[in-house]
Every structure is written in C-alpha cells, then in structure tokens.
Amino acid sequence: MKVEEALQILKEHGFKYTGKREEMIRICAAEKRYLSAKDIMERIKEQYPTLSFDTVYRNISTFVELGILEETELDGEGRFRLACSTDGHHHHHVICTECGKTSSLPGCPMNIISAVPEEFQVTGHKFEVYGTCKECVTHSN
Amino acid sequence: MKVEEALQILKEHGFKYTGKREEMIRICAAEKRYLSAKDIMERIKEQYPTLSFDTVYRNISTFVELGILEETELDGEGRFRLACSTDGHHHHHVICTECGKTSSLPGCPMNIISAVPEEFQVTGHKFEVYGTCKECVTHSN
DNA sequence: CCCTTAAATCGGATTTGTTCTTATTTGATC
DNA sequence: GATCAAATAAGAACAAATCCGATTTAAGGG
C-alpha cells in the first residue's frame, strides 16, 4: 500500500486530514518492518515534538480498523506495519524478532488445510514465521 | 500430556513438588482450552484461597519454559493450555476467541512451505486459526 | 474570509496485565 | 528434627494501552 492510498481510505471514511496522520503513515511506509507504538512516537518526534501518545495509539487503532496497518505482537507489545496484503494477494511473513524486519512468504496455509472442525465458525487466522535476520545475527555476535 | 508427566518433568529439572503447582496443572489439564492467568487464579481459589498472583505467574512461566504449558495471546493477555504437541506429533489449533476452547488441526504449514528467505535464521513459527465455537455462537445470539 | 461544528489532539490520570522486592514459609535432604 | 535452598505472600513497581476533560483544528457553509 502506498501513502496516498492510505490517505484516500481515510478520506473515504470521513476522517479528517492531519499532518500527524500523514507522517505516521509515511513513517510506517518507510520500512518493511513492524514498528512499536514507541518506535513511531520516536520517529515522529522530529517533526511533531509535542505529539501525545494518546494520539499515536488512537490513530494506530483507526489505521488497523481501516486495514491501513497490519498488527502483530512481539514481547507483549503491539507492532505495526503498512498493510501489504492488498498489494498483490494474501500472504504471510517471516518476522525478525529482534528488529521487526519482515520478508514475504508465498502462499497461505488456509488454502491447504483439509478441514477445520465444523463446530467452529472461522473468523481469521495467523501464520507467522519467526527468526533473526542477517543483520541482527551479525550484531549479536 | 498428563498431569503425572508434567510433575515428572518438574522433578527431573529439580523443581520442588507443591500442591499449588499440581493443582495449577490439574486445572489446565481439565479442559481443552486456553486459560488466562486470571482464569487459573479463579479456579485455584477454591482450594488455595490465599494464593498470590505472583505465584501463579511465576509458575506459569516455569511451566512454559519446561514445555508443560503452551502459550498464546488473546485480547492482549497471555493464555495457556497444557501442551499437547508432545502427545503425538507437532500440530496446531483452532481457537475460540470467546472462550479459548481449542480443536486440533492436522499438519503444519512449515512442512509445506517451499522456502524461507535465506537471510533469516528461523527460530519458530505460529499458526493459529481463530473462530467462534458452537457454544459461544449460540450464547451470543 | 469568517463561523460553526464535529473531529482531533493534549496532558495527565487511570487501568490492566505482569514483574519485582523483601520477608516469610515450606519441601527436600541429611 | 535441623538445615538450606526454593517457593510463596503481599504489595510495590512497571509498562503498555486506554480514558477523560479541556483545548485546538480541519472542513464545510454562509
């Protein structure tokens, strides 16, 4: 997803444009990795030093609801990255547990699963491979 | 995994036997679903009304480290269930997001994945299907 | 342009899940 | 039964996330 697409989605849903929102999205668009709310705060402080964490958290959850951001969880804290499933087709990621860096995996296990027990009404799924990226392996040695 | 196996694992690793630990394990063994620390606290209060949450949390993490409990996360809180991967072979679950009830899924996507980018050193993976179980669908209507 | 209004933001207090600290108790071993 | 390390209690401390009341700001209409 591109920054412009994200802003368009916001507009379509009646959300106001603010420089802070755009900057948050730009920050997420800048790297192929999951960022924590803290990471985003840190990066946005350069342009908006007074931004409150309430704003960051509130915007993040708006973005997640609108499908602009994808969410996961590492070490008990939420991590976010610009949605990329919509770029092509649905897929999953390998995630570096050190730095949040991601890389796409082909395919989705749901396509292959023979059967989900019929006493469950399926609402979603999560498939994530965890690891350490080359950079983080190097740094930790 | 059975309660006795779990206790055996504790013993093998030099942990002391306590009634509280056994009871915690029994509680987890009693149902095929993920329980929160709070759930376990609640259930154990019948036998050990004074048990502190520190004890519950500390024991839970010991159990997770020893592979006695499996951990996941729902609604921002840790959930635990008696490990069952060791029963037969490695597998995954459908999880009811309402009550934590689980059901096994055959197979593991890691077997099918063609290739993980070689710049990642894989350390683990998570595959979970989420849904609502029959009981919870009924109750919410 | 200015006015109005609802949405967005601020700043701090609050909540929630979890961990830490210190003193005390208890299980295992001799 | 004495000893000692491990386990526990109780509450303080922590960190992530949310809530709240007051203020500011974007968007649209006159």
Restricting to A residues 89-108, those with a Cβ less than 8 Å away from any Cβ of B are 94, 96-97, 103, 105-107
CA A105 to chain centre: 16
**Which residue out of A57, A96, A129 would a mutagenesis test of the B interface target, given it has the greatest number of B Cβ atoms within 10 Å?**
A129
d(CA A37, CA A74) in angstroms, rounded, equals 12
Residues A9-33 as b or e (16 or more Cβ within 10 Å = b): bbeeeeeeeeeebebbbbbbbebeb
SS (H, E, C) chain B: CCHHHHHHHHHHCCCCCCHHHHHHHHHHHCCCECEEHHHHHHHHCCCCCCCCHHHHHHHHHHHHHCCCEEEEEECCEEEEEECCCCCCCCCEEEEECCCCEEEEECCCHHHHCCCCCCCEEEEEEEEEEEEEEHHHHHHCC
Which nucleotides of strand C lie under 7 Å from a protein CB? Answer: 7-12, 16-21, 26-28
Q: Was B133 annotated as part of a binding site?
A: yes
Which residues of A sit in the known binding site for Fe cation? 90, 125
pLDDT tens-place string over residues A1-47: 999 999 999 999 999 999 999 999 999 999 999 999 999 999 999 99
CB of residue A52 closer than 7 A to nucleic acid strand C? Answer: yes
pLDDT tens-place string over residues A80-131: 999 986 566 889 999 999 999 999 998 899 988 878 889 999 999 999 999 9
* Residues of chain A contacting B123 with CB distance shorter than 8 Å: 97, 130-132
Adjacent-strand bridge partners of A105: A92
CATH class for the domain made up of B92-139: alpha beta
Q: Closest by alpha carbon to B101, among B138, B141, B130?
A: B130
CATH code at A3-82: 1.10.10.10
| CATH code 3.30.1490.190 region(s) in chain B | 92-139
CA A46 to chain centre: 21
Residues belonging to chain A: 141
Render each residue's pLDDT in chain B as its tens digit; 141 residues. 999 999 999 999 999 999 999 999 999 999 999 999 999 999 999 999 999 999 999 999 999 999 999 999 999 999 999 998 656 688 999 999 999 999 999 889 998 887 889 999 999 999 999 999 999 998 776
Contacts of residue B15, defined as CB under 8 A and 6 or more positions apart, other chains included, come to B21, B62
| CA→C1' distance for A18 and C3 (Å) | 21
Q: What is the pTM of this model?
A: 0.91
| CATH code 1.10.10.10 region(s) in chain B | 3-82
Phi, psi of B56 (to 5 degrees): -60, -50
Which residues of A sit in the known binding site? 90, 96, 99, 125, 133, 136
Distance between A120 CA and the closest CA of chain B, angstroms: 4
* Residues of chain A contacting B139 with CB distance shorter than 8 Å: none
Residue A74's H or E segment, with its range, is: strand A69-74
Q: Closest by alpha carbon to B32, among B125, B111, B135, B124?
A: B135
